[in-house]
Structure formats: C-alpha cells, structure tokens
Structure 1
Amino acid sequence: MTTRLTAHFALEELVATQHRRIDNRPPPDVVETLRTTAVQMEEVRKLLGDRVITVSSGYRCPALNRAVGGARRSAHLTGHAVDFNCYGFGRPKAVCRVLAASSLAFDQLIEEGTWIHISFDPRMRRQVLTKRPGGGYVLGLQTHKGEVQ
C-alpha cells in the first residue's frame, strides 16, 4: 500500500533505504514534516517543468544517518531534507541553477556532484553550496573552471 503525501510524492519513497537491517519508519511528527517537505518538492517539480524527480534519500533515523555518514545535525533526521535527481531536466548543476534563481523558499541547496540536496529546515537561509571534489563545500555554484557564481 502506498501512502500518498502529495500528488507526486509518497511516504515510502521519502523513507526508503538500501540498509535493510535498519528500521527507518518515521515517528508521527516526522510524517507531518515529510508531508510539508513533499508539498515543497511539488514546487521544485513545477520549477523543473513538471518532470519526474527521483528521490535517493529523504528521512533518516539516527542509525541510518550514522550508517550513511550523514552530518550529526542533518536535516534528514527531521524529515526536512531530500536528496534527488531530475534526469529529465538535466545535470544537478543545471537543476541547482534554476532553483537558486527562483523565489523558492529553502534552507540549503547543495550541488553534490551527482545529486542535489535540498533542505526546507525552518531557518530558510537560502544557502547555496557546491561540494568540493576533495571534500567540504564552497558557498555558491561553481562553474566548470572552479569559479563561484
């Protein structure tokens, strides 16, 4: 059975994990946060021409967050973050450019190289970052020459 949060996002895809031994079922308060996050992801989808979004990570319980090497205070722990791709739109950098140039409210938008991380943490800082190849992050979206836009 599928639990629809919005027209295009289901609870099951926002809690899915490859780690079968970890129970990643969210508590009720996180389910409500995921519902709000899914509404925001519908806005992302509209900005990307209503193309399919493939979620690779949404909510992570503490054990799962540790298993994948997530940040100690990751917005995934509260259901505020989604890692995704929109293959029908283009590469992660192109997706990030569109989202960063929009009026979409978000806390963090990170071009992670092969995927996009977006957080709707209540701080809503509109922080745009690019992951560095050797680790760490730089503020802004980098061009192919390493310049920050």
Structure 2
Amino acid sequence: MNISKHVSMKEGVYSITATRLCIDNIPTEYHLNNMQIVAKNVFEPIREWVGGPVKINSFYRGPELNKAIGGSTKSQHCQGRAIDIDDSFKHKTNAEMFEFIKNELDFDQLIWEFGSETNPDWLHVSYVSPEENRNRILQAYREDGKTKYKII
C-alpha cells in the first residue's frame, strides 16, 4: 500500500531506531489519513517541483518510537501530520526546497533544521488543514546542548 504516488508505506513508517529497538511503528487509520493529506498537499508538490526523488527522513512516529528518540510529546510526527525531508538525491538543495515551500505551498510549520545560514541539514514540514495551518516558519538551533527554535 502506498501513502501517495511517490510515498510508500515503508518510507512513511521507516525508522532505524524502530528497527534497532524492535518498535512496531504502524499508524492507525487516523494517522494514515493524516499522512495521506500531508503527502498530497506537501510532499507530492515538492516532488513534482524537484523533478526527482526527495529523501524522507521521518514521517509517522508512534508514541514508543517518539519516546525512544527523545521527541517532543507534542510532535506533529506522532499525528502523522509532519514530514522531514532532505536533499540526499541532490536534485535541489534543502535551502531551495525551503524557499519553494515557503513561497508556493500552504503548511502549518516549516522548520529550517540546523545546518548553516545557507543550507539546513533537513526540513521539517507539517500540514493540518487549510483552515488550521499557521504558515509558521522557524529555525532550529542548539544552545547549551538543547534544541531551540526562533521565528524567521
């Protein structure tokens, strides 16, 4: 079963941590529906614009997996409403994808995840619904060993 044209279920639930710790990271119907909405409104338009594969670092994250990686209990990944993407295939840079999302797509949150001032290490994008999306843009950085966010 595929989540969308270019997102397989395997990609949507894959986690090296889940594999290593034997965590069952299977979404419910509710989570799967949210994932399909994110894929349709965020991933597929990016994939089309990029013109080739885009690496998914993280999509659905069940409670046990989220706890194992030290994720926020409020993480939208746990609802199937957030996807982390990366330019591993080098069709576009993370910074170029960031600008495309910011300027062309509707989203709830777009996060420039670490990296440098010219290119993030990866992008976090979440989507809820046209009525609830905040179009909030943040930058993640580390301070005193903790992840912090600033509005950009």
TM tier, smaller? 0.7 to 0.9
Higher helix share: 2
* Equivalent residues of 2:13, 2:61 under 8 A apart: yes
Aligned-pair identity (%): 27
List runs of 5+ in structure 1 lacking aligned partners. 141-149
Higher RCO (Cα < 8 Å, 6 or more apart) = 2
Q: Does 1:45 align with 2:57?
A: no
The answer on 1:4 being equivalent to 2:2 is yes
TM-score (norm 2): 0.82
Question: Which runs of 4 or more aligned residues in structure 1 lie more than 4 Å from their structure 2 counterparts after TM superposition?
Answer: none
**Structure 2: unaligned runs, 5 residues or longer:** 115-120
Equivalent AA in structure 1 for residue 75 of structure 2: S
Tell me what 1:16 maps to.
Answer: 14
Say what the alpha-carbon RMSD is for the aligned residues.
Answer: 1.5
The answer on whether the counterparts of 1:75 and 1:119 sit within 8 Å (CA) in structure 2 is: yes
Could you tell me how far 1:50 is from its partner in structure 2?
2.2
Assess if the C-alpha contact under 8 Å between 2:51 and 2:91 holds in 1: no
| CA drift at 1:95 | 2.0
Amino acid at match of 1:86: D
Distance 1:82 1:44 in 2: 12
Q: Is 2:93 aligned against 1:94?
A: no
Post-superposition CA distance 1:21-44 (Å, at most 9, x none) = 111011122112211121121012
Q: Partners in 1 of 2:102 and 2:29 — Cα distance?
A: 31
* Paired residues of 2:3 and 2:32 also in contact (CA < 8 A): no
